[in-house]
Structure 1
Amino acid sequence: MIFEKIVLENFATYKGRNEIKLTPRDHKPIVLIGGENGCGKTSMLDAFQLLLFGPTARCSNRGKLNYETYLKRCINRKADPEEGAVLELTMQFYIGGKLKRYRIRRAWSLKKNKIKERFGAYHLSDDGEKFDAVFSDNWADYVEGIFPSKVAPFFLFDGEKIEQLADFENSGPLIRAAITSLLGLNHVDQLSADLLILEKRKFKELATLEEKDNLEQIEKELADLDKNIADLRAEEARLNNLIDRQNGKLEDIELRYRQQGGELYNRRNELELKLESSRDQVSTLEAELREIAAGASPLLLVDNLLSDIATQAEHEDKAERSRILNEELQQRDEQLLSILKKEALNNGVMSRIDQFLKEDLQTRQKVAETECYLHLSPEAQHKLNLLRGSELPLLRKEISSTLSNLQEANNKLEAIERSLASIPEEETIAQLLAERHQANEEAARLKFALSTNEEELRKAKYKREMVSASLKRELEKTAEKRFEGKDQRRLLQYSAKSRKTLEIFRKKVIKKHLAKIEANVLEAFKKLLRKEGLVHSLEITPETLQLKIFNADAEEIPPDRLSAGERQLLATALLWGICRTAGKPLPTIIDTPLGRLDTSHRTNLVKNYFPCASHQVLLLSTNEEIVGRYYEELSPFISHTALLCHNEKQGGTTVHPGYFS
């Protein structure tokens, strides 16, 4: 099947006639439609549901509204209600091995406060368009063969709301519905139900009045249980819708709360404790600096003077040594010259030696004449050198480190003081706090109501199974008594045997395909999951169709071990795996495809899922999802794009070519 084109006219947020071409081009499966929140992405998903399934459509915000009331609300608020709304879908699919093209049109308007709906199916061929009365009158039956309503949630879904599929305890019914429809077991179930109706009819024809009364009583109990189950399911849908709305309201309140400094308000006590701790740290560091300043550290201020003192002390030391040495050298020189004269050396040589000795003595005399005023002892000079070479450099390093720590502590203290100064007063934020408290209480109340409803639904389903089994036993028991030797007895016996055979057949078909489904789901999950070693194997219990996952040690992984993003990926893998197993070539439409996923999970979906989800994939994205590098990575698979633009003054949303800039 391929969706070629959808038309939305005065439907929900859409004003006027809006047409979007959906046929993939150039062997690229993805049609990308962008729109900010409130522009009508979810309404478009609802439009596909309404077009295909009409009164039984599972729309996002229908809740317990009856069909007419819901249609009334779907007319654009700025459109003329008497003109109403129109939805059209052009598509192609195979019937009896032949490719057919049809345009279905669903229109409704409000006249005299009553909704009037018109539905038509038009066959498209080379000869033009022709109204198909048979298709139009029996569309509900035809669509079940083309696009079964029970599998629609696996192909038309909101990316943020599929996490329920990964609820291991409650996913069984959803998996059962999908497998039943995708594997064609709904026909087996219908045949089994028809046989049971036949048995009841034959029983009533020949049963006694008492037996008929007993049967009618059981059937009435079954009917009451069916109605109760239907009401509980409707209530479940209504509560889920209210919870979604309440979560949206909470997100809005939380955003306003953060914008007004609510997070700082929540951290007041924490910040005050940090302020006290930071002040203590600053005081400690200042005390350390004072202690350092009480020692030799002030000498760092006169480091150049200490250098001059060390130089002067060295000069004085050399001068003192020169004075002592000069006296000794002068006596030695006189003795040396006297000896040389006795040896009768050449006068020229004697003259040069005498000149050299005099000049050397003069040079040394200049050193000895250095002014001496320090007169440092050797011990004092040693202490000075130790101070300059070791103690003062260590002090300088210690002071620098302490000053750096003090600066950092002061910066931290100032930041905490600024944060505390930014905290709104309680009276400023009191109303928002009350709103948040009330919204949280309402959310908790709704969740409790949903939990209670789910428990009642579980009990009602169990009771129905018991009553249904009781009805079957009653029929079989009465048949044994009433129809011995009669054709009716054989008919009932064979009918009961046929139902048992069908049930065995059903179980074997499911068991046969479960291994393939498990393998496909596991393969899909591993492709989407960034933690390669988290899940080693996967199992769907044949009896309950509940999902279980295991690690490499064959230990079952509880649901709470998975993050919200991982559960969403598991739900996506479940959808993908079941659809791959069934092999039904149906389009896939995903609203908010990346939802609340983090960066790595988004990357895995973009690379590994969207291009392979189906031969035709329609993605309805916000401006915070498939943009930037995600758009670049997906662009080789994008056939074309469209952009939903909302203009309140013009009365709603219109569709334009292009995408977010």
Structure 2
Amino acid sequence: MILDELVLHNVGTFAGRHSIPLTPPSTKKPVVLIGGLNGAGKTTVLEAIHVALYGALAQPSGRRSGSYDSYLRSLIHRGVPETEGAAIELTFHAHQEGEERRFWIRRSWRSTGAYIREILLVMVDGRHDHALTSTWSEHVETFLPRGIAGLFFFDGEQIEALADMERSRQVLGSALAALLGLDLVERLTTDLAVLRRRHRSQQVPDVLRETVQERQRTVTSLRQAEEAAADAVATVRVELERSNKRLFELAERYRSAGGDLLDQRDSAETTVTLLRTELARIEDEIRSEVSEAAPLLQTTELLRGLSEQVHRESAAHRELLVVDVVEKRDAAVLAQLASDAVNAVTLRSIEQFLTADRDERAKFAQAKQVSGLRDAGGTDALLRVLPSARRRLEGLLERRIMTRSELDQAERVLVAMPDPETLVPLRIQRDEAAAETIRAESSLEHASERLTSLRTDRARADSAYEGALDKAAHANMAADDGRRLIEHVDRVRVTLEGLRAAATRRHLDRISELILEALGRLLRKDKLITAVAIDADSHTVELTGLDGRPLAAQELSAGERQLLAVALLWGLARAAGQPLPVIIDTPLGRLDGSHREHLLDRYFPYASHQVILLSTDTEIDRSAYDRLRPHIGRAYRLEFNPKTNATAVQPGYFWE
């Protein structure tokens, strides 16, 4: 089945007639991308296809909280009279009985005052088919059963619902029942139960009839209460979905306006304060260094020269003292030698040697005294400490540069943050939406608990009613035909229950394998999940981790749970075994970058032979669009004009 064209006439935000060709140009480009900002009409496109195909039996959306007539009335564009009405046309082709047939459906409606008049026309291969028009609700089930439509036409809210393992059980149960045809078995079982009760009630003696009737009234009352509670749960669930959607939209608006940065303002201010404190401490240490030996680093060479000069002066002073002592010693030595009658030549030679030695020492003692220092101890000590002072000062200066740079960056981030006052209204709306969501979740929990309690009470009442019927029937089972009928009905009900259990077990293994295969293609962590099983009774999804032990869904990240939900839909859709198009509204939800890439690369191009994506410019942005571009066959954008309060369909995505 391939959707070829959707025509909207005065539907939702679409004023007048708008045509959207949908046929992919080739099998290599199956993606049809329709972009639009929030409120431009993306969800209307998805709902229009549902309404065109199923009419009053279409799956209720988050915006449909009342009757079908009220819903159709709300879909009429506000800029035209309700008496003019609206219309949806859907063209598609599908293979039936080995032949390709082209279907054209037109569903139009207008107000006649208190009521809505709806007209359906169906054409096959260009010819109006009266019989098919009158039986369309049954015929559409042959190529797109309503029970499995949710596996192919869905939005981000359904993905989030499936990502919640508790909420997913009901969705899985309904999908499996429709997929395996168990809804027919359930209807047959219910019809047999009604038939059994009717025949048994006819056999009740008068003395027990009052008891049976009382139990029957109790069952009827509880069943009505249960249905009302189920309606209440559905209503509250719609309200919760609406609240979640509003919260998501407000959170996105808050984020786009810089709210995420603003939420980090306290952290940014703390960072700036810490960096300023650190910078002041470093500068204090620099001042401390400068107040000690550090300034002398500029005179290192002078200090080195001074040290050498002081050493020379000290040496000269020592030589001068030595010369005086040696001169007296030499005179004494010569006098002693003379008195000892030493040879004159020898005496003269010794005198010349001693004189030369004194002259040499006197030469060293003649160094000029300019430093005024007695020794070089002070200068030598300075020269020893200056290298470590240099290292400390250089380290402090480098730390100051780095800290100053970090402080400048932190201050730029702080300055770039939006003014908190400008976001106060939006933050208040977001917080109110969050509170409303919490209240809706609480209401849903209470409503679900009441529904569960009523189901338990109704089950007990059913059991009591059955017991009363059994007692009454056994008291007077005179009608053999009735007894045989009841016995046959009981056997058939047991057989049907066995059939349902066997069919479920038989198909669940294959469905689990398909889901695991889809998970393997979507999850970025190889072999994070090694097995998937679905409980046949509770429809709980059971995961097995790499270590062979059960893996709770809560252990997965939010993004991984959403990918698990997509894998569930993908696996169930493949299990359906029918080549049907896939339509996804707001497909990327709150996934992070890497999980988005996995959907863009591994799911959207291969989900089906035709994939229609309805997205905002923040979900499929430039980067995502570039990744998806090789697989895009058609692209449109929905442009909403606030002046005319209407949407127009333009060719090309946001940046084309």
Asked whether the two chains share a fold, i.e. TM above 0.5, the reply is yes
CA–CA distance in 2 between the matches of 1:190 and 1:378?
115
- Judged with a 3 Å threshold, the aligned counterparts in structure 2 of structure 1 residues 654 and 184 are, in CA distance, closer, same or farther, namely same
Shift of residue 217, structure 1, vs aligned partner:
1.8
Letter of the structure 2 residue corresponding to residue 288 of structure 1: E
Check conservation: 1:84, 1:109, Cα contact below 8 A: yes
Shift of residue 283, structure 1, vs aligned partner:
4.7
Q: Helix, strand or coil: the match of 1:151?
A: helix
Q: Which stretch shows the higher mean deviation, 38-47 or 365-374?
A: 365-374
Equivalence for 1:65: 66
Equivalence for 1:48: 49
Check conservation: 1:42, 1:60, Cα contact below 8 A: no
Equivalence for 1:654: 648
Q: Helix, strand or coil: the match of 2:605?
A: helix
Q: Is residue 231 of structure 1 aligned with residue 235 of structure 2? A: no
Q: Is residue 442 of structure 1 aligned with residue 443 of structure 2? A: no
CA–CA distance in 2 between the matches of 1:283 and 1:632?
48
Check conservation: 1:168, 1:548, Cα contact below 8 A: no
Check conservation: 1:243, 1:447, Cα contact below 8 A: no
Check conservation: 2:40, 2:638, Cα contact below 8 A: yes
Which of the residues 367, 371, 385 maps onto 1:391? 385
Shift of residue 65, structure 1, vs aligned partner:
1.9
Q: Is residue 105 of structure 1 aligned with residue 106 of structure 2? A: yes
Equivalence for 1:20: 20
CA–CA distance in 2 between the matches of 1:620 and 1:272?
40
Query: What's the CA shift string for 1:613-645, capped at 9, x where partnerless?
Result: 122211112222334443343333333222222
Equivalence for 1:85: 86
Q: Is residue 173 of structure 1 aligned with residue 167 of structure 2? A: no
Equivalence for 1:331: none
Query: What's the CA shift string for 1:388-439, capped at 9, x where partnerless?
Result: 4x53232122112223334555666677788889999998877666555544
CA–CA distance in 1 between the matches of 2:93 and 2:475?
55
Shift of residue 540, structure 1, vs aligned partner:
1.2
Equivalence for 2:595: 601
Shift of residue 385, structure 1, vs aligned partner:
5.7
Shift of residue 528, structure 1, vs aligned partner:
0.9
Query: What's the CA shift string for 1:548-597, capped at 9, x where partnerless?
Result: 22323343333332222111111101111112222122211011222211
Equivalence for 2:332: none
Check conservation: 2:240, 2:437, Cα contact below 8 A: no
Shift of residue 99, structure 1, vs aligned partner:
3.8
CA–CA distance in 2 between the matches of 1:616 and 1:429?
41
- Judged with a 3 Å threshold, the aligned counterparts in structure 2 of structure 1 residues 555 and 461 are, in CA distance, closer, same or farther, namely farther
Letter of the structure 2 residue corresponding to residue 140 of structure 1: S
Aligned residue runs from structure 1 range 227-626, under 5 A: 227-248=227-248, 250-251=250-251, 254-255=254-255, 258=258, 262-263=262-263, 267=266, 277=274, 280-306=277-303, 308-309=305-306, 373-374=370-371, 379-380=376-377, 384=379, 387-388=382-383, 390-409=384-403, 435=429, 437-484=431-478, 486-626=480-620
TM-score (norm 1): 0.82
Check conservation: 2:587, 2:614, Cα contact below 8 A: yes
CA–CA distance in 1 between the matches of 2:572 and 2:466?
33
Which of the residues 145, 148, 151 maps onto 2:145? 148
Equivalence for 2:197: 200
Check conservation: 1:35, 1:621, Cα contact below 8 A: yes
Query: What's the CA shift string for 1:142-187, capped at 9, x where partnerless?
Result: 2233322222221111135412113222322211111111112222
Number of matched pairs: 620
Shift of residue 531, structure 1, vs aligned partner:
1.9
- Judged with a 3 Å threshold, the aligned counterparts in structure 2 of structure 1 residues 12 and 485 are, in CA distance, closer, same or farther, namely closer
CA–CA distance in 2 between the matches of 1:237 and 1:619?
25
- Judged with a 3 Å threshold, the aligned counterparts in structure 2 of structure 1 residues 434 and 240 are, in CA distance, closer, same or farther, namely closer
Give the CA RMSD over aligned residues: 4.0
Shift of residue 98, structure 1, vs aligned partner:
4.5
- Judged with a 3 Å threshold, the aligned counterparts in structure 2 of structure 1 residues 473 and 586 are, in CA distance, closer, same or farther, namely farther
- Judged with a 3 Å threshold, the aligned counterparts in structure 2 of structure 1 residues 609 and 257 are, in CA distance, closer, same or farther, namely closer
- Judged with a 3 Å threshold, the aligned counterparts in structure 2 of structure 1 residues 314 and 21 are, in CA distance, closer, same or farther, namely farther
CA–CA distance in 2 between the matches of 1:658 and 1:180?
40
Q: Helix, strand or coil: the match of 1:16?
A: strand
Check conservation: 1:538, 1:548, Cα contact below 8 A: yes
CA–CA distance in 2 between the matches of 1:30 and 1:257?
31
CA–CA distance in 2 between the matches of 1:598 and 1:223?
45
CA–CA distance in 1 between the matches of 2:17 and 2:426?
41
Letter of the structure 2 residue corresponding to residue 559 of structure 1: A
Q: Helix, strand or coil: the match of 1:171?
A: helix
Check conservation: 1:257, 1:263, Cα contact below 8 A: no
Q: Which stretch shows the higher mean deviation, 425-434 or 285-294?
A: 425-434
CA–CA distance in 2 between the matches of 1:258 and 1:322?
83
Q: Is residue 635 of structure 1 aligned with residue 629 of structure 2? A: yes
Give the gaps of 5 or more residues in structure 1: 325-364
CA–CA distance in 2 between the matches of 1:567 and 1:402?
50
Check conservation: 1:535, 1:551, Cα contact below 8 A: yes
Q: Helix, strand or coil: the match of 2:213?
A: helix
Q: Helix, strand or coil: the match of 2:83?
A: coil
Shift of residue 375, structure 1, vs aligned partner:
7.7
Check conservation: 1:645, 1:655, Cα contact below 8 A: yes
Letter of the structure 2 residue corresponding to residue 138 of structure 1: T
- Judged with a 3 Å threshold, the aligned counterparts in structure 2 of structure 1 residues 518 and 73 are, in CA distance, closer, same or farther, namely same
- Judged with a 3 Å threshold, the aligned counterparts in structure 2 of structure 1 residues 177 and 417 are, in CA distance, closer, same or farther, namely closer
Query: What's the CA shift string for 1:257-308, capped at 9, x where partnerless?
Result: 856985366x2xx677667655654453344234323322121233353355
Check conservation: 1:297, 1:395, Cα contact below 8 A: yes
CA–CA distance in 2 between the matches of 1:427 and 1:521?
48
Check conservation: 2:91, 2:102, Cα contact below 8 A: yes
Check conservation: 2:34, 2:635, Cα contact below 8 A: yes
Letter of the structure 2 residue corresponding to residue 239 of structure 1: E
- Judged with a 3 Å threshold, the aligned counterparts in structure 2 of structure 1 residues 83 and 312 are, in CA distance, closer, same or farther, namely farther
Q: Helix, strand or coil: the match of 1:170?
A: helix
Give the fraction of aligned pairs with identical amino acids, expressed as a percent.
35
- Judged with a 3 Å threshold, the aligned counterparts in structure 2 of structure 1 residues 369 and 449 are, in CA distance, closer, same or farther, namely same
Letter of the structure 2 residue corresponding to residue 241 of structure 1: E
Q: Which stretch shows the higher mean deviation, 544-553 or 229-238?
A: 229-238
CA–CA distance in 2 between the matches of 1:169 and 1:130?
48
TM-score (norm 2): 0.83
Query: What's the CA shift string for 1:350-409, capped at 9, x where partnerless?
Result: xxxxxxxxxxxxxxx9999986634877744xx646644x53232122112223334555
Check conservation: 1:64, 1:237, Cα contact below 8 A: no
CA–CA distance in 2 between the matches of 1:431 and 1:632?
35
Shift of residue 483, structure 1, vs aligned partner:
3.2
- Judged with a 3 Å threshold, the aligned counterparts in structure 2 of structure 1 residues 256 and 442 are, in CA distance, closer, same or farther, namely farther
Check conservation: 2:258, 2:417, Cα contact below 8 A: no
Shift of residue 477, structure 1, vs aligned partner:
4.8
Give the gaps of 5 or more residues in structure 2: 322-361
Q: Which stretch shows the higher mean deviation, 134-143 or 469-478?
A: 469-478
Shift of residue 106, structure 1, vs aligned partner:
0.9
Check conservation: 1:246, 1:443, Cα contact below 8 A: no
